[in-house]
Amino acid sequence: MAAGSVGVGLRPALASRTENLDLSSAERRLVGWALLLACCYPLLLVGVHTNALRLGAAAVGVAEGLILGLCLPVLLRRVPSAMVGVLVVAFGMLGTLWLLRGAVDFKSARDLVIPALFLWLGCVVADRVLAQRVLFTVAGVALAVALVELLFVDTYSRYFNILSYYVAQGAVPESYQQDVALNVNGVRPEGIGRTLFPALLGSHRVSSIFIEPVSMGNFATLLAAWGLSRPSTERGTIALALLLAWALIVLADSRYGLVVVTLMAAMRLTLVPRWQGLGFGFPFIAVTGICALAIAFPHHLADDFVGRLALGGRSVLELGWAGLLGLEGWAARHGDAGYAYLFTRFGLPLALGLWWFLWLLPMRDEAAARLRAQVSLYIALILTVSGTSLFAMKTSALLWFLIGVSVASRFGGTTEDANAGAPRAAAPSLSDPVTGRSP
């Protein structure tokens, strides 16, 4: 695609105004900085830990609390009744689980609060122009830092000692050693090696602002989802998002990102708007698939594609009803078994209820409905290979903010489309997730 056509394609998305809650320029900057910090705070903490003050696990909670506090002035501008109702029911169910367990699980509360508040923030802001600007800003910062890490890894690790930071957090044993001070998965071990351009990039997996390559691959996948959800008239936006996503996936050597973005592209090419609702079934297909693999390969324990999926399936099959309901196993370490983590922390009823709520949200147009379908694929598949990545603020903040700005008129009524300015009628329906025409 020629450079000129890219520029033309970007103008509709970045130059138009949008209906919002009359946010001031200061409030817009506040939202932008809060989202940028939500993605970058891990690297900032590593920098402080390496150069100034040794930080323990509590520093992460303090940082996340401060970022959420930054959002409060905007959050309180409008309190969606549907969001309040869902939060009351969700925390009521979570509190009941705590009573039955005889212990309070603050981790599950935190995992619920972060998505809820950033979804709420997106609904209040209701500005896809701002969301896209922040998304591309984060991508640009991530790419710049990634190139510095790749080209000057020794100097980079001297100022950002990621390994020491994780040791201080208690996530890595003090006895662990490796050649560079990166995350433990920042280097592909011998015998496995890189998947993407190994001769050019070696065994180094770049992590950039996210301080672990898995999270950078996850962010790149969300970036691609946003690009692939945009209307075909916005060729520049689609091209730029996919180009940046591809660069980050290659640098992080994210096999998950490579597979999921390929599937997302196939969805965009094949799914007509009325079929976007099929995304509701993605988690059910994923759970069935990994359980079937676990039954078919009961002794396959290798750390490969089939082995990791089968491990997730075995973890679900071994839970029993008490585990599925969140009554047992909630304090256990489930490793990369995301569905086992989800069920034991929240319980199957609450997990199903939250998923139903996501799909009852009225989306403002075809682009928003496509985004929800793409994100549903991301969620369904990330839980098959990763335990807690879905809940990490460094990626989940943007994920749920993007969903929030795509919701029609903050849970009802009519709204101005972020890119066209035409009013859209909101019609919350699971069978017809698209409300209005494409921008």
For residues 227, 231, 234, 235, the Cα torsion angle rounded to the nearest 10 degrees is 70
How many angstroms separate the CA atoms of 394 and 94, rounded?
Answer: 24
pLDDT digits (tens, 9 = 90+) for 258-300: 999 999 999 999 877 778 889 999 999 999 999 999 999 888 7
Residues 32-36, mean pLDDT to the nearest whole number: 96
Instruction: Outline where 52-175 has alpha helix (H).
Output: 58-75, 81-101, 106-125, 128-151, 153-159, 162-169
Q: What is the DSSP string of 403-435?
A: HHHTBGGGTSSEEE-TTT--EEE----SS--B-
Angle between helices 366-385 and 393-405 (to 10 degrees): 160
User: What is the rounded distance in angstroms from the CA atom of residue 368 to the CA atom of residue 80?
Assistant: 19
Which residues fall within 8 angstroms of residue 268, CB to CB, at 6 or more apart? 228, 229, 370, 374
How far is 123 from 415, CA to CA, in rounded Å? 11
pLDDT of amino acid 162? 93
Residue type at 36 in one-letter notation: L
pLDDT, tens digit (0-9, with 9 covering 90-100), for 84-143? 888 999 999 999 999 999 899 999 999 999 999 999 999 999 899 999 999 999 999 999
For 189, the token pair is 């071990």
> Distance (Å, rounded) from C-alpha 249 to C-alpha 155?
23
Please give the mean pLDDT across all residues of the chain: 85
pTM for the model? 0.87
- Per-residue model confidence as pLDDT tens digits over 379-415: 999 999 988 999 999 999 999 999 999 997 645 333 3
Please state whether 202 falls in left (phi above 0), alpha (psi between -120 and 50) or beta. Answer: left
The SS3 of residue 240 is helix
Give the pLDDT confidence score for residue 373 in this predicted structure.
Answer: 96
Mean pLDDT in residue range 331-358 = 92
Give first-to-last CA distance, the chain, whole Å.
Answer: 22
pLDDT above 50: residue 2: no
Answer yes or no: are the C-beta atoms of 419 and 439 closer than 8 Å.
yes
pLDDT at 21: 59
Which of the pair, 63 or 439, is modelled with greater confidence? 63
Residue scoring higher pLDDT (399 or 168): 399
Q: What is the pLDDT of residue 409?
A: 60
